[in-house]
Amino acid sequence: MIPGAADPARPAAGRFAAGRLAQYNDRMATPIDPQSPAALARGREKYGPVAALLREMYGVPEWRPHLSPLDELVSTILSQSTSDTNRDKAFDALKARFPSWEAVRDAPLDDVIAAIRPAGLANQKAPRIQEVLQRITAERGELNIDFLADLPLEDARRWLTSLNGIGPKTAAIILLFGFGRPAFPVDTHVHRLSRRIGLIGPKVSAEKAHAIMEQIVPPEDYLVFHLNLIWHGRQVCHARNPKCSLCPLQDYCDDFQARLPRAARTVEP
């Protein structure tokens, strides 16, 4: 049994108070703006117990060794539509084949494609990497993005998303993992779990979820909560056939509660 998995005998302490159910019914009866105070309050209310239960299960997860911001940028481009293992293989191959990012920028395209083949979509990712490296050089006079550490967060995010192939998720990963700045990345696992649990509304897009999650989760917990949601998505809450019987989040999960008979629900989705 997964540590921290739901215990049917667990007392209702920590569950949503009964009186809240009626409030949620009222609030959720009609569609509401996902960034309205009511929707954000509901997300924040769920965040506390959900984060605590995930920490109980997974602790503070280990992240791969810290990369420099520019390394993180290239690594996130490689990570698109592939596994962490293949991303890392391609990244290591790139570093082994070229002595510097300047050399990657100036290399024949085919050489870069060959080096990053393990990441898949090499024909798309290689020109994207070279284009980004060229743009940084043209704009900054050198291959360095450390200036983003000193920009206001939204300016840094805007600059990153102005690069071809860098969307809100990739920008948030670079800001959080490369610079330790308070940006919350929403990948496919985080998006799926956030909607199922009800941290965000069921129709909120991944793109819009970034801003909402940043208002729900305290900044000091962005990294751990992001990684624990991903871990839970990989281990338990799969896209198909989530293992709900092993999941300690049942009491807080809109998707699970909606599948229970009304009388058995602890929270109304």
Name the site residues for ligand SF4 (rule: CB under 6 A): 193, 196-197, 236-237, 242-244, 247, 249-250, 253, 255-256
Q: How many CB atoms lie within 10 A of CB 9?
A: 5
Both tokens of 120, joined, read: 């898949």
Closest to 4 (Cα-Cα) out of 62, 61, 60, 55: 55
Active site residue 169: yes
- Closest contact distance (angstroms) between CB of 252 and ligand SF4 is 8
- Of 227 and 236, the one with the shorter C-beta distance to ligand SF4 is 236
- Closest contact distance (angstroms) between CB of 178 and ligand SF4 is 29
- Of 223 and 253, the one with the shorter C-beta distance to ligand SF4 is 253
DSSP 141: S
- Closest contact distance (angstroms) between CB of 90 and ligand SF4 is 31
Q: Which of 46, 169, 208, 243 is catalytic?
A: 169
Cβ–Cβ < 8 Å for 236, 246: yes
**CA dist 66 → 75, 107, 163, 207, 224 (Å):** 12, 26, 23, 26, 15
- Of 8 and 37, the one with the shorter C-beta distance to ligand SF4 is 8
Cβ–Cβ < 8 Å for 71, 143: no
Rounded Cα distance between 140 and 5, Å, is 51
- Closest contact distance (angstroms) between CB of 163 and ligand SF4 is 34
- Closest contact distance (angstroms) between CB of 197 and ligand SF4 is 5
Q: How many CB atoms lie within 10 A of CB 189?
A: 18
- Of 240 and 262, the one with the shorter C-beta distance to ligand SF4 is 240
Which DSSP string corresponds to 127-159? HHHHHHHHHHHHHHSSS--GGGGTS-HHHHHHH
Which residue type sits at 249? Answer: L
Rounded Cα distance between 252 and 242, Å, is 15
Cβ–Cβ < 8 Å for 163, 135: yes
- Of 230 and 249, the one with the shorter C-beta distance to ligand SF4 is 249
Give the residue numbers marked as catalytic: 169
